Amino acid sequence: MNLYLRLIWAIFRAWRMPRIVPGDTITRTLRVWPNDIDINGHMNNGRYLTLIDLMIIEYFVRSGFAQAMLSSGWRPMSGGSFVTYRKGLKPFERYQLSFQLDCADEFWNYMRFEFRRMDGTLCAAGYMKGAAVGKQGLVPNEIAYAKGGQTFTPSPLLPQVAHWIKAESSLMESLKV
């Protein structure tokens, strides 16, 4: 299925689904389509992140954050991700993708994702961080959450997220960025 069709379907489906609050887990059962496959005969590593983008759209729509961003002139921004691959997903194989907000700081929201075969075998997992960005830069989560009708309470960063941030900072320092 073409990714534009998946995008339209994700948005349409999310509008019809029940509302969620930050921290809720959403899970989708999906299938590996031929255009998801790489030269090695399994789902392409880049496709995993594309599917994560679709899940974050659903999360934003269902939580009310998408409407808050649009009405405020903000746009979503991914600030990075890390993923580890354990098992390949084969053509036409069904799998489950789960996605949830695990923790947040002043600006960033850290969302965990897991790709699992239908028997529960972990195929890939990781985190992505996202934020709202406006004309003046990153929108503080306190303001963004309030605009979406939610109360923001900073949560302690999980150890794996803190290690990721430290590694990312070290990389940027080594590149003198």
124-139 pLDDT tens trace: 999 999 999 999 999 9
Q: Looking at per-residue confidence, does 133 or 10 come out higher?
A: 133
Query: Stretch 4-23: mean pLDDT, rounded?
Result: 85
| 3-state secondary structure at position 88 | coil
pTM: 0.89
The rounded percent of the chain whose pLDDT value lies above 70 is 98
pLDDT of residue 144: 93
Cα separation, 137 vs 22, in Å, equals 22
pLDDT of residue 177: 65
Helix, strand, coil shares of the chain, percent, nearest 5, are 40, 30, 30
Domain boundaries, position 17:
3-174
Q: Residue 166 carries which side chain, given as an amino acid letter?
A: K
Query: Stretch 162-174: mean pLDDT, rounded?
Result: 94
pLDDT of residue 2: 60
pLDDT of residue 1: 47
- Whether 91 and 34 have beta carbons less than 8 Å apart is answered as yes
Of 57-61, 83-87, 98-102, 116-120, which gets the smallest average pLDDT?
A: 57-61
Burial of 116-136, coded b for 16+ CB within 10 Å and e otherwise, reads beeeeeebbbbbbbbbbbeee
Task: Supply the DSSP symbol for 107.
Answer: S
Does the structure show a pLDDT above 90 at 154?
Answer: no
Average pLDDT, the chain: 92
Does the structure show a pLDDT above 50 at 118?
Answer: yes
Q: Looking at per-residue confidence, does 123 or 149 come out higher?
A: 123
Query: Stretch 131-154: mean pLDDT, rounded?
Result: 92
Angle at 13 between CA 9 and CA 16, to 5 degrees: 150
Q: Residue 132: give its domain's CATH number.
A: 3.10.129.10
Counted domains in the chain: 1
